[in-house]
Amino acid sequence: MTDPGAIAFIGVGRMGSALARGLVAAAVPADRIRVSDTDRSAARRLAEETGVRATESNREAVSDVDTVVLAVKPQVAKSVLQELAPALTEHHVLVSIAAGISTAQLAAWSGLGVRRIVRTMPNTPCLIGAGAVAIAISPETDADAAERARAIFEPTSLVVTVEERLIDAVTGLSGSGPAYVFLFLEALADGGMAAGLSRETAESLAAQTVLGAAKTVIDLAADPAQLRDQVTSPGGTTVAGLGVLEERKFRAAVVEAVQAAARRSQELSEATG
Ligand SMILES: NC(=O)c1ccc[n+]([C@@H]2O[C@H](COP(=O)([O-])OP(=O)(O)OC[C@H]3O[C@@H](n4cnc5c(N)ncnc54)[C@H](OP(=O)(O)O)[C@@H]3O)[C@@H](O)[C@H]2O)c1
């Protein structure tokens, strides 16, 4: 793993604290991590539990670090960066997880050049170390900025690189995707119960089935369509189930769901512009 240098987390709610915990678990020395939050007790609790240093202010947090992770809600990103701007220098790299806030906005508000800024889109499974994050890298991004951003997420997430124009697509897929899968899990378990299983048995079989299918695709680097063929024999049970999903246009519904979420992400970004 690349050395991310000393890091300040501005905002240690759900996402910020999960990323900070992930770094400590990956053996980044806790004393190199500063955390700041308007909810001082949250920052102090995280410090007590992990050994990171809670600071009294956002400015203090960024004063002696290399990387600043902006992990506040999008609505407060502007005021937080304007407050931090006098303390930021071109030595700093700014990594933002704030949904819908563009690199250009981050640059305008922080005073940093776009080459020192990496906009990202993580997802909530990073809370349990199984996240998926896209980091937006352009030809202008400094190599050390890209590497430091990658290092922030590697302990908790799969990291992919995309052009910034594709961040809305990422939001529609992996950002919102866990909710689609939760819905599918509910339905899978409902089906099991309709077929006679207890709720407890149906829910655990459903979750393990989704986990096992996803792990098979990842571990074997296999094409999902081929794997599906392998479990579908002519006249068998799986083809009967898949027939209903095709007839009810399951595939088209999922494709359209991702597109609708991506469009909504773009609309929300434009509204904050
Ligand atoms: N959760 C997701 O699924 C997800 C996925 C991808 C990206 N994101 C992005 O991740 C960011 C954080 O989301 P989250 O779910 O972790 O939010 P969260 O749990 O609300 O955490 C944000 C934290 O920032 C604190 N804060 C507010 N104003 C501050 C300020 N001026 N200075 C320092 N700290 C401040 C908040 O304190 P108070 O509670 O006192 O306001 C809160 O503890 C958001 O921008 C979101 O778009 C979230």
pLDDT confidence of residue 268: 86
pLDDT confidence of residue 200: 98
Strand order in the sheet with 131-136: 53-54, 33-36, 7-10, 67-70, 93-96, 117-121, 131-136, 157-162
Domains of the chain (ranges plus CATH)?
Answer: 7-167 (3.40.50.720), 175-269 (1.10.3730.10)
Across-strand partners of 157? 131
pLDDT confidence of residue 183: 98
- Per the prediction, the chain carries an average pLDDT of 95
Tell me the mean pLDDT in the region 150-171.
96
Q: Is 16 in the pocket of ligand 1 (CB under 6 A)?
A: yes
Q: How confident is the model at residue 269 (pLDDT cuts 50, 70, 90)?
A: confident
Q: Is 63 in the pocket of ligand 1 (CB under 6 A)?
A: no
Q: How confident is the model at residue 202 (pLDDT cuts 50, 70, 90)?
A: very high
pLDDT confidence of residue 171: 96
pLDDT tens sequence across 45-68: 999 999 999 999 999 999 999 999
CB 121 within 8 A of CB 99: yes
pLDDT confidence of residue 124: 94
Share of the chain above pLDDT 70, in %: 99
CA distance 132 to 122: 6
pLDDT confidence of residue 212: 97
pLDDT confidence of residue 270: 84
Q: Is 124 in the pocket of ligand 1 (CB under 6 A)?
A: yes
Across-strand partners of 132? 158
CB 121 within 8 A of CB 171: yes
Tell me the mean pLDDT in the region 17-40.
95
Across-strand partners of 159? 133
Tell me the mean pLDDT in the region 132-137.
97
Residue 273 has pLDDT above 70, yes or no: no
pLDDT tens sequence across 224-248: 999 999 999 999 999 999 999 999 9
pLDDT tens sequence across 1-15: 677 789 999 999 999
Residue 222 has pLDDT above 90, yes or no: yes
Name the residue with the closest Cα to ligand 1, atom 21. Answer: 13
Tell me the mean pLDDT in the region 208-226.
97
Which one of 35, 37, 171 would you pick to mutate in the ligand 1 pocket, going by the greatest count of ligand atoms within 8 A of its CB?
A: 37
pLDDT confidence of residue 272: 73
Report CA(135)–ligand 1 centroid distance (Å). Answer: 18
Q: How confident is the model at residue 41 (pLDDT cuts 50, 70, 90)?
A: very high
Atom of ligand 1 lying closest to residue 42 CA? 43
pLDDT confidence of residue 69: 98
Q: Is 15 in the pocket of ligand 1 (CB under 6 A)?
A: yes
The residue type found at 32 is: R
pLDDT tens sequence across 77-128: 999 999 999 999 999 999 999 999 999 999 999 999 999 999 999 999 999 9
Could you give the residue ranges of the DSSP H alpha helices within 111-249?
143-153, 167-170, 177-194, 199-220, 224-230, 237-247
